Chains A and B, each alone.
Chain A
Amino acid sequence: MKSRLKTGQKVQGAEIVCESLLRHGVSVIFGYPGGANIPIYDALYKYPELKHVLVRHEQGAAHAAEGYAWATGRPGVCFTTSGPGATNLVTGLADAMLDSIPMVCLTGQVPSKMLGTDAFQEADVLGVTLPVTKHNYLVTGAGDIAPSIYEAFHLATAGRPGPVVVDITKDAQANYAEFAEPEIMPEFNKKIKTDATADELDSLALLLNNAEKPLIIAGHGVLLSGDGKSLLKVAESQDIPVTLTQLGLSAIPHDHPLFMGMPGMHGAVSANRAPLEADVILALGMRFHDRVTGKVSAYAPQAKIIHIDIDPSELGKNVVPEIAIVGDVKTILNRLLPKLKKRKNPLWLDRFKLWKKEEEEKVINPELNADILKSAAVINLLSKETRGLATIVADVGQNQMYAAKYYCYRKYNSHFTSGGLGTMGFALPAGMGAKMADPDREVWIVIGDGGIQMTLSELATIAQEKLDIKIALLNNNYLGMVRQWQELFYKGNYSQVRLKNPDFQKLSEGFGIKSEKADNLNSAGQAIKNARDFKGPYLIEFVVAADENVFPMLPAGAGIDEMIISKADMK
């Protein structure tokens, strides 16, 4: 552990902030200085080990910290000033809260004597961020800084991860206190159950050993528990087909024969048909989100559900499981494995072959072999060129679905996106954060023309940091997902979805980022090669079909039995 201060050394609160971060192994901070956190920036000057990235908007700092956390499993860290600096974080906090991403955000606050006076750049940060954080602190004394930051780091990763805000008044930053490494108070070590009991394991094994059509649905909890190998071993021991929710993608290699795609609104035919026929569903670190289940009453009508999650409040929240176990997915699967009978299940797996074939014929092949450049074909090309080993940071909307469905993820934990909140503009800063956290990753940001314009200013940060990031901009000059809904469910009333876009080449050039444009399969393939050969940021604008639709699709509120496989299926 790196450190600069000795225990008992009297320093300013701002220095205690930096020391606490250093001792938590923080390597990168994403932030923006201002009047109420200027003492922290002054102290940062003495801490060259803490690399600071100057974002262009605090929302960018929050998403970059999320990207950092996705890539490392450690909390991402942000600095912002009071008032607007702090409120600009809110979207990123809400995003991290819904997607269980550990984050520690340190916001400056007006001096403690001015709290509640509506002072310049004062906002009630505790009140504003309460609904979107695991916990938050208001610190008014220099001596309270270290305990709060230590607790924040502990909380951010304990059990189900999430964001924590520490709001520090300017006087607390400037005043002096003795630095001492605090002990985490016992109330913060509330017992988190991570393992299954022997009885739980036995009933789990009994159900699986007797299942005829078992199905695994695994989510983000698998990635958060730290490895996909235990999942794969359990699946392989009994030939259990595995589906991965959007946030669980890349938990196992997507070219594995037992991988059956992503379930849900735009899920694979196989992943949505299987719950209708399965007799046992093993749900791991996922929360039966409405986008996964569709109408709950029509979901998995004959399946006994085994639900394992580290957060007890998720069990029984959306569906009623037969067996509910609080605990860590990896720990439980490793203990379950020796209790499982080894067996094959060819009849059940044959059903999936049929479903996969149906989707290939009706959806995938037409997408990949279209005359005009389509997003699916672009992602497929990218997947082939990078051999499925790149990290894809996907934005929100159609581009996100194509990135989820057409990239063959072969590297563990290599798909990051904004799932729960669906934050457009997430990918650009998040990709930046992922690359800074782990420079060895080949990072590709997949984003639409709508989303990129929401956090566009971070192109400047990417350029300033000379990050070797590739941006695949899928440009259809539309807010494509809304356009798709309007086409399919709102009689083609295209209301406010057409974008008159800037010239993305000139824009990139303005930021000092190399770019090129591709409008057919050949030029797209060449552009991807060029981008990969180039050391530094590179933006490719893929001009894709304006009217493409993502299929299959469950209309909002429909059950998975009402999946529409292609437009021809619609009445």
Chain B
Amino acid sequence: MNNMHKNLQNFIIWAQNKPGVLFRILWLFRRKQLNIESVTAGHSEIPDITRITITVSNNGNKVKNMVHQLNKLVNVVKVEHLDTAMLVYREMALIKIALSEKEEKSQVLRIIEHFRGRVINMTNSVMVIEATGDENKIDAFYENIKNFNIVEFVRTGRAALLK
């Protein structure tokens, strides 16, 4: 899995916050036969401008051309195509684990501590954990915790800023 993250190329796209804009952008990746590994979209520091971070596996010329293709979309204001080395970025994962015995709970808490995760909700039988980091850290966290009874697992794409 680690190798998979190595070659990810990042597109950071600033676009108007209007209906259908995300669809136009994602459609273009499909049209140009690029497989999206992750997408993160949300408000930026500029009013009415959405910031979208998309990662794809490296595909040489196609990836380079994609910047120009994206720029042709009317609602796209700005596009940057960046190497991972130029970014600081985080992913976040939420994991819900069902616990049956006390011993399990302490084991899980040890793992959480090691990965600097947080417990954000806990009942007698269920624990919801938040973990942040790059993809490799999230992968490693998942590897360590997957033998417990995972009820739900969700992870975001990259939230990235230029260094």
A-side residues, CB < 8 A to B, are: 126, 130-131, 134-135, 155, 187-188, 190, 311-313, 315-317
Q: For residue A317, which residues in chain B have a CB less than 8 angstroms away from its CB?
A: 61, 65
Give A314's nearest chain B residue, CB to CB: B68
Please measure, in the bound complex, the distance between the C-alpha atom of A316 and the C-alpha atom of B16, giving whole angstroms. Answer: 28
Q: How far is the CB of B59 from chain A (nearest CB, A)?
A: 14
Interface contact B65-A313, CB-CB below 8 Å: yes
Instruction: Flag B56-93 by CB within 8 Å of A: 1 or 0 each.
Output: 00000100110011011111010000000000000000
Please measure, in the bound complex, the distance between the C-alpha atom of A134 and the C-alpha atom of B71, giving whole angstroms. Answer: 12
Given A187-B74, A187-B77, A188-B74, decide whether A130 and B27 contact each other with a Cβ distance below 8 A.
yes
Interface contact A155-B31, CB-CB below 8 Å: no
Interface contact B27-A312, CB-CB below 8 Å: no
**What 8 A-B pairs are tightest by C-beta distance, nearest first?**
A313-B68, A135-B74, A312-B68, A313-B69, A317-B65, A313-B65, A313-B72, A130-B27
Interface check B146, CB cutoff 8 A: no
Interface contact A187-B16, CB-CB below 8 Å: yes
Q: How far is the CB of B60 from chain A (nearest CB, A)?
A: 11
Q: For residue A311, which residues in chain B have a CB less than 8 angstroms away from its CB?
A: 68, 72
| Size of the chain B interface, CB-CB below 8 angstroms | 17
Interface contact A316-B61, CB-CB below 8 Å: yes
Interface check B47, CB cutoff 8 A: no
Interface contact A312-B31, CB-CB below 8 Å: no
Q: For residue A187, which residues in chain B have a CB less than 8 angstroms away from its CB?
A: 16, 74-75, 77
How many pairs, one residue from A and one from B, have CB atoms within 8 Å of each other in the complex? 33
Please measure, in the bound complex, the distance between the C-alpha atom of A430 and the C-alpha atom of B68, giving whole angstroms. Answer: 31
Q: For residue A188, which residues in chain B have a CB less than 8 angstroms away from its CB?
A: 74
Please measure, in the bound complex, the distance between the C-alpha atom of A142 and the C-alpha atom of B23, giving whole angstroms. Answer: 25
Interface check B24, CB cutoff 8 A: yes
Give A312's nearest chain B residue, CB to CB: B68
8 CB-based A-B contacts, threshold 8 Å: A126-B20, A130-B27, A135-B73, A187-B16, A312-B71, A313-B65, A316-B64, A317-B65
Which residue among B61, B64, B65, B74 has the maximum number of chain A CB atoms within 10 Å of its CB?
B74
Please measure, in the bound complex, the distance between the C-alpha atom of A190 and the C-alpha atom of B77, giving whole angstroms. Answer: 8
Please measure, in the bound complex, the distance between the C-alpha atom of A137 and the C-alpha atom of B70, giving whole angstroms. Answer: 18
Which residue among A131, A190, A315 has the maximum number of chain B CB atoms within 10 Å of its CB?
A190
Q: For residue A190, which residues in chain B have a CB less than 8 angstroms away from its CB?
A: 71, 74
Give A159's nearest chain B residue, CB to CB: B72
Give B27's nearest chain A residue, CB to CB: A130
Given A313-B65, A316-B64, A316-B65, decide whether A130 and B72 contact each other with a Cβ distance below 8 A.
no
Q: For residue A134, which residues in chain B have a CB less than 8 angstroms away from its CB?
A: 72, 74
Q: For residue A135, which residues in chain B have a CB less than 8 angstroms away from its CB?
A: 73-74
Q: How far is the CB of B26 from chain A (nearest CB, A)?
A: 11
Q: For residue B27, which residues in chain A have a CB less than 8 angstroms away from its CB?
A: 130-131
The binding surface of chain B is classed by DSSP as helix
Q: Of the candidates B24, B64, B68, B77, which one forms a contact with A130 in the assembled complex, judged by CB atoms under 8 Å apart?
A: B24
Q: For residue B71, which residues in chain A have a CB less than 8 angstroms away from its CB?
A: 190, 312-313
Please measure, in the bound complex, the distance between the C-alpha atom of A187 and the C-alpha atom of B74, giving whole angstroms. Answer: 7
Please measure, in the bound complex, the distance between the C-alpha atom of A131 and the C-alpha atom of B73, giving whole angstroms. Answer: 11
Instruction: Flag B5-41 by CB within 8 Å of A: 1 or 0 each.
Output: 0000000000010001001100100010000000000
Q: For residue B65, which residues in chain A have a CB less than 8 angstroms away from its CB?
A: 313, 316-317
Please measure, in the bound complex, the distance between the C-alpha atom of A131 and the C-alpha atom of B69, giving whole angstroms. Answer: 13
Please measure, in the bound complex, the distance between the C-alpha atom of A308 and the C-alpha atom of B75, giving whole angstroms. Answer: 26
Q: For residue A130, which residues in chain B have a CB less than 8 angstroms away from its CB?
A: 23-24, 27
Q: Of the candidates A126, A155, A315, which one forms a contact with B74 in the assembled complex, judged by CB atoms under 8 Å apart?
A: A155
Give B19's nearest chain A residue, CB to CB: A138
Q: How far is the CB of A194 from chain B (nearest CB, A)?
A: 16
Which residue among B27, B64, B72, B73 has the maximum number of chain A CB atoms within 10 Å of its CB?
B72
Q: How far is the CB of A68 from chain B (nearest CB, A)?
A: 24
Q: How far is the CB of B123 from chain A (nearest CB, A)?
A: 40
Q: For residue B61, which residues in chain A have a CB less than 8 angstroms away from its CB?
A: 316-317
Q: For residue A131, which residues in chain B have a CB less than 8 angstroms away from its CB?
A: 27, 31
Please measure, in the bound complex, the distance between the C-alpha atom of A316 and the C-alpha atom of B20, giving whole angstroms. Answer: 29
Please measure, in the bound complex, the distance between the C-alpha atom of A155 and the C-alpha atom of B74, giving whole angstroms. Answer: 9
Q: How far is the CB of A544 from chain B (nearest CB, A)?
A: 40
Q: For residue B77, which residues in chain A have a CB less than 8 angstroms away from its CB?
A: 187
Q: How far is the CB of A405 from chain B (nearest CB, A)?
A: 33
Q: How far is the CB of B139 from chain A (nearest CB, A)?
A: 35
Give 15 A-B pairs besides A131-B31, A316-B65 with Cβ atoms closer than 8 angstroms: A130-B23, A131-B27, A134-B74, A135-B73, A135-B74, A187-B16, A187-B75, A188-B74, A190-B71, A190-B74, A311-B68, A312-B68, A315-B68, A316-B64, A317-B65
Please measure, in the bound complex, the distance between the C-alpha atom of A188 and the C-alpha atom of B71, giving whole angstroms. Answer: 12
Q: How far is the CB of A193 from chain B (nearest CB, A)?
A: 11
Q: For residue B72, which residues in chain A have a CB less than 8 angstroms away from its CB?
A: 134, 311, 313
Please measure, in the bound complex, the distance between the C-alpha atom of A190 and the C-alpha atom of B68, giving whole angstroms. Answer: 13
Q: How far is the CB of A296 from chain B (nearest CB, A)?
A: 12
Please measure, in the bound complex, the distance between the C-alpha atom of A308 and the C-alpha atom of B61, giving whole angstroms. Answer: 19
Q: How far is the CB of A403 from chain B (nearest CB, A)?
A: 32
Please measure, in the bound complex, the distance between the C-alpha atom of A187 and the C-alpha atom of B24, giving whole angstroms. Answer: 16
Give B70's nearest chain A residue, CB to CB: A313
Please measure, in the bound complex, the distance between the C-alpha atom of A126 and the C-alpha atom of B27, giving whole angstroms. Answer: 13
Give A313's nearest chain B residue, CB to CB: B68
Give B62's nearest chain A residue, CB to CB: A317
Which residue among A126, A135, A313 has the maximum number of chain B CB atoms within 10 Å of its CB?
A313
Q: How far is the CB of B78 from chain A (nearest CB, A)?
A: 10
Please measure, in the bound complex, the distance between the C-alpha atom of A316 and the C-alpha atom of B75, giving whole angstroms. Answer: 24
Give A162's nearest chain B residue, CB to CB: B72
Q: For residue B16, which residues in chain A have a CB less than 8 angstroms away from its CB?
A: 187
Q: For residue A312, which residues in chain B have a CB less than 8 angstroms away from its CB?
A: 68, 71
Give B73's nearest chain A residue, CB to CB: A135
Q: How far is the CB of B67 from chain A (nearest CB, A)?
A: 9
Please measure, in the bound complex, the distance between the C-alpha atom of A131 and the C-alpha atom of B23, giving whole angstroms. Answer: 11
Please measure, in the bound complex, the distance between the C-alpha atom of A126 and the C-alpha atom of B65, giving whole angstroms. Answer: 25
Please measure, in the bound complex, the distance between the C-alpha atom of A446 and the C-alpha atom of B73, giving whole angstroms. Answer: 36
Q: How far is the CB of A115 from chain B (nearest CB, A)?
A: 12
Please measure, in the bound complex, the distance between the C-alpha atom of A281 and the C-alpha atom of B49, giving whole angstroms. Answer: 42
Please measure, in the bound complex, the distance between the C-alpha atom of A564 and the C-alpha atom of B138, giving whole angstroms. Answer: 59
Q: For residue B75, which residues in chain A have a CB less than 8 angstroms away from its CB?
A: 187
